[in-house]
Amino acid sequence: MAKSRSHSSIEKLGVQELVGQLLEIPGTTYEQIVEQVKKATGTTISKSALSRYQAAWNEKRYRAETIQKEVDAMMAILKQNPEVDPTDGLMLLIKHKLVSLFSQAEANFDHADTLEAAQLLNRIKRTEQMGAALKVQEQRLELLQRKVAATAKEVSDTVKGAGLSNEVVEAIRQKILGVVPA
């Protein structure tokens, strides 16, 4: 994936917050922003540096808004369907992002870092495998709990038939279920 410029004059001066606030004000011109930065730092920034910074700033803002919308949509789905596993929703979100990245990278594939993309695919695959393994473990635990409960009931019925008191039967059942310490 293409690396973004990380050493802008605005970042070097440490005025990202000031410039960001000014960019949010509708109708603010580059000249006004350059003037405010000069007042704050004593240094003049170029309009081209400001233009590059604004493009990156807009992209970050757009990504943050998009992610927030996707998270909100996923949370709404999870609230409507509490039986849905949240990790399934997260995996869908990650896969959607990956497809989006590759569709964008297709236009600029010469600048794409294929090693980084392969590592991302590998991480997604491992995450999917871990999610599947967790589901298997959950199913095994559920089965084990059902077996223990059935065994506890069977033992309770057996010892009741042997004439033990209800308190003793309940104590045995709780011990089998792991409700009381051994």
Within 8 A by CB and 6+ apart from 155, the residues are 172, 173, 176
In a domain, 52, yes or no: yes
Mean pLDDT of 83-89: 74
- pLDDT the model gives residue 180: 60
| 39-70 per-position pLDDT tens digit | 988 988 888 988 898 898 888 888 888 888 88
In a domain, 145, yes or no: no
Q: pLDDT tier at 35 (50, 70, 90 boundaries)?
A: very high
In a domain, 16, yes or no: yes
Q: What total of structural domains would you count in the chain?
A: 1
Q: pLDDT tier at 1 (50, 70, 90 boundaries)?
A: very low
In a domain, 43, yes or no: yes
| 127-155 per-position pLDDT tens digit | 778 878 888 998 999 999 898 888 888 88
Average pLDDT of the chain to the nearest whole number? 81
In a domain, 19, yes or no: yes
Enclosing domain of residue 63: 1-82
- pLDDT the model gives residue 103: 66
In a domain, 31, yes or no: yes
In a domain, 78, yes or no: yes
The owner of tokens 């009381």 is 180
Query: Encoding tokens for residue 112?
Result: 């794409």
In a domain, 123, yes or no: no
